[in-house]
Structure 1
């Protein structure tokens, strides 16, 4: 193993030396060097400004990189499309409002994803399971047969909290007591998207398809406090195609 490691290290060293030799003779110009050269020329000679963009996880990377780059390029601005919700503390999010704009589409689940919202969703699921008075297989069949499209005619699924079975209620109380012990830790790790929040929301639906959108400013905490929305649109609104349509039709 030691001999193999030494051989690999020697080959790597020779490869690096060959690359340096080629670069010094200008026989090879690396893509990164070309990109840096074009960037510096545009910034220093043509007086261009830097715009940093990204989508989803790329939006998180763009936001973080922008904080570092702005030390060198004060005119930089970042546009983060559907960034993760658990990205930065509220204090940092406020500090980045001068140069960062986060665009969040509808009920996109990624932009609402954080420790606090996941815990809240788990709590809601636990309570729903305790209140459910119908077999889960029947509920699944109702969905497959389209029997739950109309809330007024849908079969009754949940009972009142005071009607929960005594044994189930004890289990629920134990769970809530345990969850309450860690509630302060979750609140201390409250995270949200960075910068100014532009919220694109659908306001007209036709044939189960979003037709029109409008754009409003929102507070980062409002997005997180709203929590994860369980909907068939939660992942659909994260798609770039939906983002493009929403931006094009936003008023």
Structure 2
């Protein structure tokens, strides 16, 4: 089977991190499959994306066996793998469709960064997250220090990074970083993705863009973005259909065949 197999379930694109014998640790072959898979979600017939790991484990992060010999490589070679990881993280953040991480088992190191880069997280009740980099004497990558510091209280994110200890998904759910806990996170994520995929794609793309901008934008700039967005959306096909359906007391049909 492919290193990064994809499946379509209606308008939902399901992407699988498929190296269970390595607890789905990253390698260049993963990025080579993952990046184009994520970029394909900009297609009009994709409404939402789910990312999961094979074999009941989301992702163990970087392959430590490769990291252990990285000191023998020149700086450019050491940077290459990280740059590919960051290209993947940017692709997820830039994806116009909602991306849901379905986390089973563990999300460790860059695996935690991958989950945090997604728009939404559904985790199993016994799952855990670890920013384990410090355990092997290195610093985080994959946007971990950015994502966790914004999603969590600064002191808690600092504790995670400095200790590298396990944090239960239930704890991150209490703090709002994990959206849902489920007995079967993949099934729950696919159902949720199907519901999102039935919604208005242009509006959702705009919402993702605004939420992303809000992390850096000044208040007045955010108000301007919102004003421009809604003024255009009200005259767009989705806005017209949504408002008309509400007045007519029927379900909106955002995806006419």
TM-score by length of 2: 0.24
Larger radius of gyration: 1
Which structure would you say has the larger RCO, counting Cα contacts within 8 Å and 6 or more residues apart?
1
TM-score by length of 1: 0.24
